[in-house]
Structure 1
Amino acid sequence: MEIKQVVVSHDGKARHLNEVSTVIPKGKVTTIIGPNGCGKSTLLSVMSRNKMPLKGKATLENKDLVEYKPKEFAKKFAIVYQQNDIPADLTVEKLVMYGRMPHNSLFQKKTNDDEEAVTWALECTNLLGKRQNDLSALSGGERQRVWIAMALAQQSEILCLDEPTTYLDIYYQLELLELIKQLNEQYGLTIVMVLHDINQAIRYSDHVILMKVGKIIAEGLPRNVITKEVIKEVYGVNSVFHEDEKLGLYMMPLSI
């Protein structure tokens, strides 16, 4: 996917994205980071066609996103939001089955392909044993995995996650990020996500996009992009970086 000189304005004046250009590398994990209000989620909204650029365009496989029919686009791009409202009595399996809608007509019965795709998605997210459970009986981390399973059942080429670790405690944050890493490594999924935690972005990303005030400040390999100079410029925080044999590079904030 390529973003070309995209401008997004909600009121016609202030620019939430100001001539943003980037390329999402295929088969990699790309993480978008930056301060609150810098345009991270707006950029995801452009990628998912939820916001149309005022100027510029977004393309997928050299085709403008606006030229894709809804089902055609859904077979290539799936997105999981940070907050999702669902009926409490819906089962895990029924929700995940909704991911098959791009592949079927409105009144078509479930096929073997549908069943196999749902089972695979539940296996990937370690939810097979809970397929008949009501969503209301699940923990926050399990519910987030159900939404990811629904996106996987969609069998899209790109999986996009908007702040997937928000509202989760540290155990479920790490569990979810390990799942994302596994999906990328085992199945070659192209993954784009927004994170707030800089150390998680360093550890779980192949490619980082750092934003500030609607612009991309830097992008590339995490250790090349996330430096103490850039952290000071973007976040206004003094920091120090350490290298650990097991954890790799990580940052510690010191002062403002």
Structure 2
Amino acid sequence: MINNKKAFILYIICFFLFASFFIFPKYSNDTRLFTFYLKEKIEEPFFYFGQNINNFLDTFKKNTDLIKKNEQLLKRNEFLKNVNDYLKLTTSKYNDQYKVFHDENIPIPKSIGVRVIGDRNLTFNKSFIINKGSKNDIKVSNYVIDGNEIIGRVKSVYLNTSDVVTVKSIDYGEEVIINGQSYIVTGTNNDYLSFLRKKDSSQEYNFSKNQIAYVKNNSINLILGKIDFKNNNPIIYTKYNFNLDNLRVILDD
């Protein structure tokens, strides 16, 4: 009985409340305005934080895109530097003398750009595979270069791919020129090559640190590394990390 009375009283209150809003619309409008005002104030901080979060995400995305674009430009710049080093080989101070005796400029060696496929980590494996082969006139023993520096030589050739052994590998051997003299060196599976023997056994080692060791390839000289000393023995240091993004293979004429 008591619950019925409470329900009846609540019903009467609600009835008169809605009736007053209907009879006196001004109060109804004021209530609506107050409701909208209250809703706006409640939503205002959420809109503020939401806008700041959107601005942050937009700025972060733009910054990420700019970083990627900058990395691409750096790679492109490195590639152009390597091309410039490569072209320096053909514009040395001896170019004019060569033209006098041969009635032509120093010939530019024929080469082709290649890309490393598969494993690029040379920590344990001192060789890699490139995406060009006999179909592109690549042959065994062709030099693989970065700019004017030797990265390795082609070890085996297939139709569309080739295996390259790097100068770091113990399987790599080379005849180098230092101070106009020829020497035989071999890789060590480290960042340097060691001297096996002098091509002319009567010669004496007479090196100084940072001398350039190069390899003659037709009319150009390719850099193998620089002279250093380990336990008082001469060695040829190569780069610690090779740039494998802009490689070229020098083709046979």
Smaller-chain TM-score bracket: under 0.3
User: Normalized against structure 1, the TM-score is what?
Assistant: 0.21
Structure label with greater radius of gyration:
2
User: Normalized against structure 2, the TM-score is what?
Assistant: 0.21
Which gives a bigger RCO, structure 1 or 2 (Cα 8 Å, sep 6+)?
1
